[in-house]
Structures are given as C-alpha cells and as structure tokens.
C-alpha cells in the first residue's frame, strides 16, 4: 500500500482566502487613519490631535456636521417668521439631503427633527407649487456652477452648484452650467408652468453631443419625501411615492327630539330675568387678557429664536471665514427677530394690563350691564398685535 504524504504547499483557494483577509485587514487599518486625517483637514489640528481614536475623530466630524444642520434649521425658522417660505423650504431641503445621506444611524433627537422638517417641507412645497414650478438641475459630473440668466428664481447662494433645486415663475428660463475641472460650459433653456415638477439632467462630460446632453423628466411630486434626491444615478427615473387613498370620515348625527312640558307650575317663579347683552367690563377684560397672553407667548417665541440665532452667528477665529457671509445673514435675521419680540411683548403687556383694569373698573353698577353688545377681535402678526371691534347699544 502506498501512503500519500500531505503536501506542504497550500492549495490555491486557501492562498486566495488569506490574501483577501489581509486586504480587508489593511483596509480596516487604513480607514481609521483616513477618518482622523479628514477630521484634521476639516476641523484643524487644534480640535483633532495626533493619536486620537478613530471613533473620537468620527464623533467630532458628526458634531461639526450637526452644527451645520442646526444652522440650516434656524435659518429656515427665521425665514418662516418673515414670511419667506421659499427660502425656508430650500434650507429645510438642504438639511434633509444631508441627514438622509449620513450612513450612520441618527440620534433620537435628530430623527424627530428630520421627521418634523420633512412634514414642514412637504406643506411648504405644496403651497409654493400653487403659483410656481419646482426645477431640479443635476449634472454629470456633479459640482458644476449654475447661473440663472435673467433671474426668475430664489437661490440660497450667489453661484450654487449642482445638484440644484429652485422654484421658478411660469414661463421660459435659461441656465448656464460651468464645470471648472474641464472648463465645460453649457446653456439650457426650459419652459415650466405652475404646479409642475421638472428635473433636468445635463451631461458635461467631454464628447457629449449637444442634442442628447440635456434630458428632461418629471421631478418628485413632494419635495423632501425621497431620500437621496441630490445623488444617485441620473440615468434612472425618479421614484415617485404615490399617496395612499384616505377614506373620508363621515359622522352621522341622529336628531334628538325633546318634548317639553308646557304646563306652567304656579309655585315656580321662573329664572331671574337678565337684560340682554354681555357685561362690557367682563367682555373687555376677558378678551384683553386672552389676546395679551397670546401676544406675550408669540413674543417669547420670537425672543427664543433670536437668542438661538445669536448663538449660531457667534464665531471667532480663522475657521469662521468659511461661513462668514452665512453667519452675517443669520445675525441680520436675529436682529429682525429681536424687533418682533420687543414689539409683540410690549403689545401683549398692554393688552393684559388693560384687560385686568376692565375687569375691576367696569362693574354692573357703572352701566356695563345694560344690554350692550360688544364684538372684539384680537389680531396677531409677525410684526405686532392689536385689538379691533365694535360696540352696539
């Protein structure tokens, strides 16, 4: 019988497996270094010291990114206060695109903020589409400078880059795209009508034919509902989420028949007879206090938003030069919010004081319970509050 000795040379499959494991180990060993290197490039050597653990470097990067998220949310809140829902929607979309693109799970706090921003953006997008059209411009490669010739759209930056989302007035518009890496330039002309969503895909690669370099396709029906809108394969059509039909709730109220006994009771003296109308002092006091309380609540909200914007605009050092223009705008928005807060708080205090005085000074003996009909309507606005109405004798 011949005995076959085991070979000392490993089979080829074993060698391939070992080499693959070594490559994976090398990739994992290089990945932490890349994280800390990227953190030092973005945040500076003062915040990212040599020898920091990779998880600490990643945490510092996430914290810096979340500061930018909060800044976009604060800017959107300030735009809503001044009635600029278009800029507010674009800022919320920037936050949602960045939050959806993070590969790591979000904290509970940011999950709540993301869901709230998604709902607010969907509402604002629906309101804007009643009079305008939403156009998204993407390019291959991405990062091309976009210039809207002749205006016609609100932009967050003076020269934004692709991918770009903006709202356009109905009609014809022209945009110029420039890719600095290859000096490629292309102008595109498109026509939109109110209530439509359009996506333009522009090919800026060398050799792209002018006849096929620009393609149009329908954009998402609701902005902010589709993660990854700014990325992905531009050759694939967008996925449109169809809203689920909602059955209307119908409530049936059965009529109630009440049979009253009309036989008079000789021992019953009946309810006391009161003059028609509402006491003037009670009406003025109640409405004044209610309107004043609402104005004070709104003023407090303005003050909190203004304080938050002041904190976001505060920055020292060379690192602040990156967002200098953006922080200046946030500082201006904070000044506007402080003016709103001061005016609304003053009006609210006066209304509460007047309401309390009316309750104590206008009594029944003073002629306030003589059948006077008073109709008062408080009004509140971002730039103040007041009280209007009429008195009928």
Is 83 found in the same domain as 40? yes
Instruction: Report the pLDDT averaged over residues 60-69.
Output: 90
pLDDT confidence of residue 75: 94
Pick from 170, 202, 235: which residue ends a domain? Answer: 235
Does 135 score more than 80 pLDDT? yes
| Two tokens, residue 183 | 């000096």
Say yes or no: 144 and 99 in one domain: no
Residue ending a domain, among 78, 110, 127, is: 127
Tell whether the model's pLDDT for residue 38 goes beyond 70: yes
Within-domain flag for 270: no
C-alpha dist (Å) from residue 209 to 136, 137, 183, 205: 21, 18, 16, 9
Q: Are residues 347 and 359 in the same domain?
A: yes
**pLDDT value, residue 148:** 94
With respect to residue 96, please indicate whether it lies within any of the assigned structural domains.
Answer: yes
Domain-located, residue 89: yes
What is the reported pLDDT for 271? 56
Q: What is the pLDDT of residue 72?
A: 92
Residue pair 312/333 in contact by the 8 Å Cβ criterion = no
Q: Is residue 264 over pLDDT 80?
A: no
Residue 258 falls inside a structural domain: no
Please check whether residue 256 lies inside any domain of the structure. Answer: no
Distance, CA of 138 to CA of 197 (rounded, Å):
14
Check pLDDT > 50 for residue 143.
Answer: yes
Query: What's the pLDDT band for 10 if we cut at 50, 70, 90?
Result: very low
Dihedral sign for Cα 234, 236, 240, 241, please.
Answer: negative
Distance of alpha carbon 200 from alpha carbon 216, whole angstroms: 5
User: What CATH number corresponds to the domain at position 208?
Assistant: 2.60.40
How many Cβ atoms are within 10 Å of 237's Cβ, its own excluded?
A: 9
Domain co-membership, 160 together with 223: yes
Least confident stretch, 103-117, 186-200, 340-354: 340-354
What pLDDT band is residue 29 in, cutting at 50, 70 and 90?
very low
**Distance, CA of 380 to CA of 389 (rounded, Å):** 14
Q: Is residue 346 part of a domain?
A: yes
Find all residues with CB under 8 Å of 284, minimum gap 6, and list them: 354, 355, 358, 359, 362, 374, 376
pLDDT digits (tens, 9 = 90+) for 218-260: 999 899 875 544 444 444 444 333 444 444 444 444 555 455 5
**Distance (Å, rounded) from C-alpha 98 to C-alpha 357?**
53
Reported as a single tens digit per residue, the pLDDT across 287-328 is: 878 887 887 888 888 888 888 878 777 776 666 666 677 777
Higher pLDDT residue, 270 or 343? 343
**Would you call the peptide bond into 210 cis, given omega within 30 degrees of 0 as the criterion?**
no
pLDDT at position 229 is 44
Question: Rounded to the nearest 5°, which phi and psi values hold at 340?
Answer: -60, -45
The mean predicted confidence, pLDDT, of the chain is 76
Same structural domain, 29 and 71: yes
Based on the structure, what is the number of domains in the chain?
Answer: 3
**Model confidence band, residue 69 (pLDDT cutoffs 50, 70, 90):** very high
Domain end call among 127, 160, 184: 127
Nearest CA among 249, 194, 199, 244 for reference residue 219: 199
115 and 31 share a domain? yes
In a domain, 262, yes or no: no
Cα–Cα distance, 157 to 172 (Å, whole number): 22
* Domain, as residue range, for 223: 129-235
Six-digit token string for 136 = 């998204």
**Does residue 291 share a domain with residue 373?**
yes
Q: Which two tokens stand for residue 297?
A: 């609540």
Beta bridge partners of 238: none
| Nearest residue to 144 via CA among 164, 161, 159 | 161
Q: Are residues 338 and 360 in the same domain?
A: yes
pLDDT at 33: 58
pTM of the prediction? 0.50
DSSP 3-state assignment of 382?
A: coil
Same domain? 87 vs 157: no
Residues 91 and 111 in one domain: yes
Whether 166 and 193 share a structural domain: yes
- Are residues 311 and 285 both part of a single domain? yes
| pLDDT tens profile 84-103 | 999 999 999 999 999 999 99
């Amino acid at each position: 019988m011949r005995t076959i000795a085991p070979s000392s040379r490993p089979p080829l499959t074993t060698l391939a497996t070992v080499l693959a494991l070594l490559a994976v180990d090398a990739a994992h060993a290089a990945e932490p270094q890349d994280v800390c290197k990227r953190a030092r490039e973005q945040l500076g050597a003062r915040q990212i010291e040599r020898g920091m653990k990779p998880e600490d470097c990643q945490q510092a990067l996430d914290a810096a990114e979340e500061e930018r998220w909060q800044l976009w949310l604060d800017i959107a809140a300030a735009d809503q206060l001044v009635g600029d829902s278009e800029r507010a929607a674009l800022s919320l979309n920037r936050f949602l695109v960045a939050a959806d693109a993070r590969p790591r799970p979000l904290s509970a706090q940011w999950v709540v903020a993301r869901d709230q921003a998604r709902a607010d953006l969907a509402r604002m997008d629906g309101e804007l589409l009643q009079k305008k059209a939403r156009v998204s411009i993407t390019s291959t490669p991405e990062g091309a400078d976009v210039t809207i010739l002749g205006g016609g759209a609100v932009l967050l930056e003076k020269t934004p880059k692709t991918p770009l989302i903006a709202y356009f007035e109905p009609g014809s518009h022209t945009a110029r795209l420039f890719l600095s890496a290859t000096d490629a330039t292309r102008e595109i002309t498109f026509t939109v009508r109110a209530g439509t969503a359009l996506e333009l895909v522009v090919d800026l690669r060398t050799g792209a034919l002018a006849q096929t370099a620009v393609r149009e396709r329908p954009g998402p029906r609701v902005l902010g509902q589709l993660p990854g809108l700014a990325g992905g394969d531009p050759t694939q059509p967008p996925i449109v989420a169809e809203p689920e039909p909602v059955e209307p709730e119908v409530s049936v109220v059965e009529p109630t028949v009440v049979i009253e006994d009309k036989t008079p009771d000789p021992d019953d003296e009946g309810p006391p007879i009161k003059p028609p109308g509402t006491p003037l002092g009670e009406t003025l006091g109640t409405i004044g206090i209610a309107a004043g309380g609402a104005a004070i609540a709104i003023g407090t909200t303005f003050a909190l938003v203004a304080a938050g914007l002041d904190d976001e605009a505060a920055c020292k050092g060379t690192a602040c030069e990156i967002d200098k223009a953006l922080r200046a705008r946030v500082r201006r928005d904070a000044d506007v919010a402080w003016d709103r807060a001061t005016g609304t708080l003053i009006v609210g205090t006066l209304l509460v004081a007047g309401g309390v005085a009316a309750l104590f000074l206008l009594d029944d003996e003073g002629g306030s319970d003589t059948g006077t009909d008073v109709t008062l309507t408080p009004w509140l606005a971002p730039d103040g509050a007041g009280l209007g109405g009429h008195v009928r004798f």
